[in-house]
């Protein structure tokens, strides 16, 4: 594409900011709209996989993200009932040196936001978007008024995007989460995401999540699985009820649970699943969770939003017509999106559901089988996002 496009990006989250940085660097006029009044992310710590890190590298952000994040070499979970390891994924089983990064959302947001702004993208805050016109490329705001026409409109509004018409399937479970200082005396592994389960009804997790900015102390993100329809009950009950249950499931987390003195310290995230097809109509293109939202069970959503952003920028650089840009974008990403939407849909109930059979099978069959070749490298490929070769489809390769 040799001409300069005017591009509106709805949503300054992970996908929107990354797309803004890539497209502004190509010389396009980029405007980013978000409902927040002051730029800032909302949400828990998250895991960046090699897929997302390679995309960050294209923006010169891999080094800074690794410096702020915490390296994660292993995911492992133990059944609190049997004491048996029922999840044990080591990244090195796929390739030596491969690992993920646990990072605070605020750290990732700052890196991407600065990259977008310094590349020339304009961020417009306090604008709630209600609709878009895919034919003439305009955005409509809740406060009244519209902006456009734009050559391209990206919907990066996340899982609740009003621009995405695919129905959102609310999953029965979500999680309470809190970011806490890393306890120096604690028993947790600094290079592992650890979990404890009781069947699939109860789950607690501890993920190292680095520091929000240079010089700050190390942190972890604590997760507690909870049914969506039990959240009101959790809020109404004395906090000590939850604390007792959390300590009973995983006694070593007492050092974390003791730091929580108010319900508000635990933020609730309801998990949702949806895939919006087609991913592009006219001038409107969906990026990230607005295209494909899933539970964070496999830790891929942010990484997929980054892959989408790069794929779109690559299509804009390679094609001159809007319909060709859209077609190339979807071609590069569709297989990986379908694969991970399916995998996440299949794996989520094994760890978060009321099923008795699935966790029984998980503990007795899947856990021992997962130790036999070729399961270890396959599981590492699944968790690192490598299944379906998403980087090769973008002309990129893993750096580890």
Ligand X SMILES: Cc1cc2nc3c(=O)[nH]c(=O)nc-3n(C[C@H](O)[C@H](O)[C@H](O)COP(=O)(O)OP(=O)(O)OC[C@H]3O[C@@H](n4cnc5c(N)ncnc54)[C@H](O)[C@@H]3O)c2cc1C
Name the residues that contact ligand X, by CB under 6 A: 11-16, 34-36, 43-44, 46-47, 128-129, 156-158, 160, 162, 175, 177, 269, 288-290, 296, 299-303, 305
Least Å distance, CB 6 to ligand X, is 19
Looking at the Cβ atoms of 363 and 384, the one nearer to ligand X is 384
Shortest reach from residue 34's CB to ligand X, in Å: 4
Question: Contacts for 346-349 with beta carbons within 8 Å, 24 or more apart?
Answer: 347/297, 347/298, 348/171, 348/173, 348/271, 348/273, 348/294, 348/295, 348/297, 349/200
Distances (CA, A) of 318 to 37, 57, 325, 327, 328: 35, 20, 8, 11, 9
Distance CA 299, CA 291 (A): 16
Q: Identify which of residues 129 and 257 has a Cβ nearer to ligand X in the complex.
A: 129
Is the CB of 1 or the CB of 205 nearer to ligand X? 205
| 338: nearest Cα among 285, 394, 292 | 292
C-alpha 189/C-alpha 48 separation (Å) is 18
Structure token pair of residue 79: 């059944």
70-72 sheet: strands from edge to edge: 46-48, 100-103, 70-72
Closest residue (Cβ) to ligand X?
13
What is the nearest approach in angstroms of ligand X to the Cβ of residue 151?
Answer: 20
CB of 46 to ligand X, least distance (A): 3
DSSP 218-232: PEEEEEEEEEGGGHH
CB of 158 to ligand X, least distance (A): 3
Find the shortest distance in angstroms from Cβ 87 to ligand X: 15
DSSP assigned state of 49: -
Task: Please identify, using beta-carbon distances, which residue of 16 and 390 lies nearer to ligand X.
Answer: 16
In the complex, what is the shortest distance from the CB of residue 393 to ligand X, in angstroms, rounded to a whole number? 18
Q: Which is nearer to ligand X, 12 or 325 (CB)?
A: 12
Are the beta carbons of 393 and 336 closer than 8 angstroms? yes
- Of the pair 60, 126, the CB lying nearest ligand X is at 126
Complex with ligand X: residue 79 or 290, whichever CB lies closer? 290
The strand order across the sheet containing 152-155 reads 122-124, 29-33, 6-10, 152-155, 284-286, 280-281
């Amino acid at each position: 594409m040799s001409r300069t496009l005017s591009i509106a990006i709805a949503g300054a989250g992970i996908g929107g900011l990354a797309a803004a940085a890539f497209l502004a660097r190509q010389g396009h006029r980029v405007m980013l709209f978000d409902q927040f009044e002051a730029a800032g992310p909302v949400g828990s710590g998250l895991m960046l996989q090699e897929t997302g890190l390679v995309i960050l590298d294209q923006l010169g952000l891999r080094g800074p993200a690794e410096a702020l994040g915490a390296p994660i070499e292993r995911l492992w979970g133990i059944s609190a009932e049997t004491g048996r390891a029922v999840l044990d994924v080591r990244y090195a089983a796929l390739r030596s040196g491969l690992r993920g990064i646990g990072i605070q959302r605020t750290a990732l947001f700052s890196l991407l936001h600065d990259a977008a702004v310094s590349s020339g993208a304009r961020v417009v805050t306090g604008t709630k978007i209600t609709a878009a016109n895919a034919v003439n490329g305009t955005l409509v705001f809740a406060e009244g008024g519209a902006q456009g026409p734009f050559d391209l409109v990206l919907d990066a509004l996340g899982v609740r995007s009003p621009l995405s018409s695919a129905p959102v399937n609310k999953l029965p479970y979500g999680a309470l989460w809190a970011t806490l200082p890393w306890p120096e005396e604690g028993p947790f592994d600094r290079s592992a995401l650890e979990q404890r389960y009781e069947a699939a009804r109860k789950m607690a997790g501890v993920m190292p999540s680095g520091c929000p900015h240079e010089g700050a102390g190390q942190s972890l993100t604590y997760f507690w699985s909870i049914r969506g329809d039990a959240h009101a009950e959790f809020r109404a009950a004395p906090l000590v009820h939850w604390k007792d249950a959390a300590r009973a499931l995983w006694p070593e987390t007492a050092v974390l649970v003791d730091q929580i003195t108010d319900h508000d310290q635990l933020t609730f995230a309801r998990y949702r699943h949806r895939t919006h097809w087609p991913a592009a109509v006219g001038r409107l293109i969906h990026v990230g969770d607005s295209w494909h939202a899933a539970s964070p069970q496999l830790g891929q959503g942010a990484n997929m939003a980054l892959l989408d952003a790069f794929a779109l920028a690559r299509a804009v650089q390679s094609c001159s017509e809007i319909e060709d840009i859209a077609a190339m974008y979807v071609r590069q990403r569709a297989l990986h999106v379908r694969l991970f939407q399916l995998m996440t849909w299949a794996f989520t109930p094994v760890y978060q559901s009321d099923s008795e059979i699935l966790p029984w099978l998980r503990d007795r069959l899947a856990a021992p089988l997962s130790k036999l070749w070729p399961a270890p490298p396959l599981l590492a490929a699944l968790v690192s996002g490598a299944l379906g070769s998403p980087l090769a489809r973008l002309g990129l390769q893993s750096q580890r």
